Structure 1
Amino acid sequence: MAATIHDMIRLKRTNKNTFESLALPERMGTEARLAFGGCALSMTVSAAFQTVETLSRGRMALYSALGHFLGPALIDRAVFLKVTALRDTRTFATRQVIAFQKQDDGRERACLSAQLDFIVSPTDDQSIHSFLQYSVSSPQTVSPEVLRSYSEALRDRVMDGALHPNVEKAYTANFRLFETLFEYKMPPDAPLSENVMGIDKTRKTSQDHLPLTSKRHLDYFRIRQNTSSTFSPLDPDALPISSACLHFAALAFALDAAIAFIPLSLSHNFLPDVAACSSLDFALRFHIDVMDAGRWHLREIRTLVGDYGRTYNESRLWNEKGRLVATMSQQDILRPHGGPDKRTRGEAKL
């Protein structure tokens, strides 16, 4: 398992426009051999950064990543990333990235396609960049500084007899990857805190009286690793990763987490209850040029609509200053058992 986000997004160049991940993508929220989509998404961000950061341009900021998950990645092989330059001007750079894996028969199978847009951002002086500066306010909730980590809070609930040990074990088995890469905390009245991401399905939550589209989940996270300006690769084939690349890739990884199954968790269900639950597309947008994944960020996740086997869900992310810094929206598949294509119960396939 990758010990840090830096380990997850390290790449080597296989030719001028193609990169190979040095880490294998990893599972989260499933026992199948299928990788969490945030692994491929963060690698995609890393590959695009490798082609836009030059001495003549200076610092580049990612402001949007729009794309589609074309199929799940497997956890037993590397991800390859083919980058195509679509635009290069004095101010903007646009890259198309196709993430794929090599199958046992030698064929290439695409798992993600994305278009990523960058803007030159040579200074931290906001007055130079912005005619107007404003942001929707962050939700009012308890400060992360007074909260224990979520894994510690679960352990306390087990010790107090308020939670069955098997629920804690299931959480650890499903979400160990996120807890490895990020410090993670939840307000105690957040619904996914109360029902342990939906695993504890019969647990009542403080939002049970609300319609599904009025429910909101809040949580905090920050990257665990030291976020120095530049990372020197230990592997001689590994390309260096800039500070900007690390922070944007880390938040891309985090924002993809939990969004697909938020309708399940908010409605007293979990992944084995459906035939398929996974992300189909994503629209990730950053609203400031300097991200700091090493500081606490507050995330709000909600679902807006669900029908015909699909749901539409949104995440919003605020920094410690209460500034909205990123948003992620996704359309996700959510198929019942016994639907048009019958599958084994709990099997996570598109």
Structure 2
Amino acid sequence: MPITEQISVEPLHDGRFVSKYTPVRFGNLRATYGGNTIGVAFNAASQTVPPGFSAYSILGHFLGPALKEQKLYCKVHDTRTTRTFATRRVEVSQEQTDGTFRTCLELIADFHVNEPSMLEFSAPPTMAWPKPRDCPDRHEYAQGMLNRGEVNEAQLAEFRKSFDEDRDYFETRICTGGMSAQNLTGIAGGLPTTQDSFTVTSRVSAEWLRAHGPFVTQAEHTAALAFIMDGALAFLALPHSHLWVDAAGPCGSLDFALRIFVPHVDMGKWNLRERIVHHSGSGRTYAEGRLFDEKGTLLASMTQQCFMRVPRGEQSGSKI
């Protein structure tokens, strides 16, 4: 199924929509994938905005886990519509086993008409990464680590369990200089990396992403952007500390701020995603993903504050 189908919605009545499909759950996630819920919510919001507007800000809070078995219901509130700006608030809920509905996400999406630029500049990627044609497919790279004896069969199986399913939606090519590439997202946390001399907050992971279409509208591109930018931020502090997710207790995203800097994002083309973690403490982490096109133009940034609990029976986490 293409990504445009997985984040698609059907109109009901009075600003209400329902997802065509139930949300996905990847690998070891204890709940469904939050990026799926964001993408559906944004898609619903975009259905109520006049033509000529594009999203520049998608902010929200996860209020509870979404269930794999139930569709997502969206109620869109028209907060503001002017000649140049539109704001929509979206409540996402799911039906529970007792027939009641529980809110799992609230989101505010802001839209803007395209206006002339007074100044134009853009921050570059953190590192000079190879182009996608010079980077290996993520799963071929993982298989190569097994062939070289860097990981064992059990570790490769864990990687495939966690990341195989997203191949239905995105093609991913690994930047092998990234932290998560060299320790297989922390699964092979004992391996040394070229970034070990960096502080944790200076370590970077990167990959090239290209979504499987077809895409018809810019709203579909933006919903796909929201879907993928959520990826791996909740536990990024772990692989950047040479740890896999099983080293921590429960972890997940609390809030997110996706800011989009250009009117049109083409998710069917290769785009570079960099990921870095800025802070960890008090049971929470703060991480950022940034997306660039092949020319190095900054397209979008998503920041998230996430919870990361100490495993049961332990007193505190590591200080690195």
TM-score by length of 1: 0.86
1:339 to partner: Cα distance: 7.1
- After superposition, residues 8-157 of structure 1 pair within 5 angstroms as 8-30=6-28, 32=30, 34-52=31-49, 54=50, 58-121=51-114, 129-138=116-125, 139-157=127-145
Does the residue aligned with 1:171 lie in a helix, a strand or coil?
helix
1:316 pairs with 264, 272, 290, which one?
290
1:300 to partner: Cα distance: 1.3
Distance 1:279 1:160, change over 3 A: same
Extract unaligned runs of 5+ from structure 1: 122-127, 231-242, 342-350
Does the residue aligned with 1:129 lie in a helix, a strand or coil?
coil
1:279 to partner: Cα distance: 0.4
Amino acid at match of 1:193: A
1:211 pairs with 195, 199, 214, which one?
199
- RMSD of equivalent CA atoms: 1.6
Amino acid at match of 2:185: M
The whole-number CA distance in structure 2 between the counterparts of 1:340 and 1:96 is: 40
1:340 to partner: Cα distance: 10
Greater shift after overlay, 134-143 or 67-76? 134-143
The whole-number CA distance in structure 2 between the counterparts of 1:131 and 1:92 is: 18
Does the residue aligned with 2:154 lie in a helix, a strand or coil?
helix
Residue identity over aligned pairs, in percent, reads 34
Amino acid at match of 1:131: M
Distance 1:212 1:62, change over 3 A: same
Distance 1:306 1:31, change over 3 A: closer
Amino acid at match of 1:286: I
The whole-number CA distance in structure 2 between the counterparts of 1:145 and 1:115 is: 37
Does the residue aligned with 1:266 lie in a helix, a strand or coil?
helix
Extract unaligned runs of 5+ from structure 2: 316-320
Does the residue aligned with 1:117 lie in a helix, a strand or coil?
strand
1:59 to partner: Cα distance: 2.4
Aligned to 1:233: none
1:309 to partner: Cα distance: 0.2
1:120 to partner: Cα distance: 2.0
Aligned to 2:179: 191
Runs of 4 or more consecutive aligned structure 1 residues displaced over 6 Å after TM superposition: none
1:147 to partner: Cα distance: 1.7
Is the aligned partner of 1:163 residue 2:151?
Answer: yes
Contact 2:284/2:306, CA 8 A, preserved across alignment: yes
The whole-number CA distance in structure 1 between the counterparts of 2:292 and 2:177 is: 19
- After superposition, residues 188-337 of structure 1 pair within 5 angstroms as 188-227=176-215, 230=216, 243-337=217-311
Which digits, 9 at most, give the CA deviation of each residue in 1:188-225, with x for residues without a partner?
12111111111112122211122111111111111022
1:50 to partner: Cα distance: 0.8
Contact 2:4/2:214, CA 8 A, preserved across alignment: no
Does the residue aligned with 1:51 lie in a helix, a strand or coil?
coil
Amino acid at match of 2:47: Q
Amino acid at match of 2:121: Y
1:29 to partner: Cα distance: 4.0
